[in-house]
């Protein structure tokens, strides 16, 4: 697992989205899903994350890199957690593009929740 992936998952598990600041390039684009405009402002991304994960409890994430080349990583992941006492399972794929300094330049994600 890459440093960027590790921090993304830690931010979720630890409910600490401010960890994301350390991996983002200055000109980053974060597509949380394929339907919404990309986040390009760190404070808005962190605020959205704080709102999204505040009720997640007992987060368990498994992941596997599908593809890794010089600056692109494709990862399949699965998460289980409780939200308002209900069990939730999410299956997802994300693509991370890094800049030459190893910072996250672009994040694209697709998910399916059950």
76 to 31, 84, 89, 95: CA distances (angstroms): 16, 26, 14, 9
Residue 34 CA to residue 15 CA, distance in Å, equals: 23
- Going 40 to 46 to 49 to 51, the CA torsion angle's sign is negative
**Torsion angles phi and psi, residue 20, rounded to 5:** -60, -30
- Containing domain of residue 103, as a range? 3-113
**What single-letter DSSP state applies at residue 20?**
G
* Domain tally, the chain: 1
Task: State the CATH number of the domain containing residue 79.
Answer: 3.10.450.50
- The full DSSP string for 24-92 is EEEEEEEESSSSSPPB--HHHHHHHHHHHHTTEEEEEEEEEEEEE-SSEEEEEEEEEEEETTEEEEEEE
Q: What is the pLDDT of residues 61-75, one digit of tens each?
A: 999 999 999 999 999
Q: What is the pLDDT of residues 14-64, one digit of tens each?
A: 999 999 999 999 999 999 998 899 999 999 999 999 999 999 999 999 999
Give the pLDDT of residue 74.
98
- The model carries a pTM of 0.93
């Amino acid at each position: 697992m890459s440093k960027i992936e590790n921090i993304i998952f830690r931010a979720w598990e630890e409910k600490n989205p401010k960890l994301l600041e350390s991996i983002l390039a200055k000109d980053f684009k974060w597509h949380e899903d394929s339907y919404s405009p990309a986040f390009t402002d760190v404070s808005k991304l962190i605020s959205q994350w704080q709102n999204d994960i505040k009720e997640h409890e007992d987060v368990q994430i498994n992941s596997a890199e599908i593809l890794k080349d010089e600056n692109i990583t494709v990862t399949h992941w699965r998460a289980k957690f409780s939200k308002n006492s209900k069990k939730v399972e999410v299956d997802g794929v994300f693509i991370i593009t890094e800049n030459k300094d190893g910072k996250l330049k672009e994040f694209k994600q697709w998910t399916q929740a059950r």
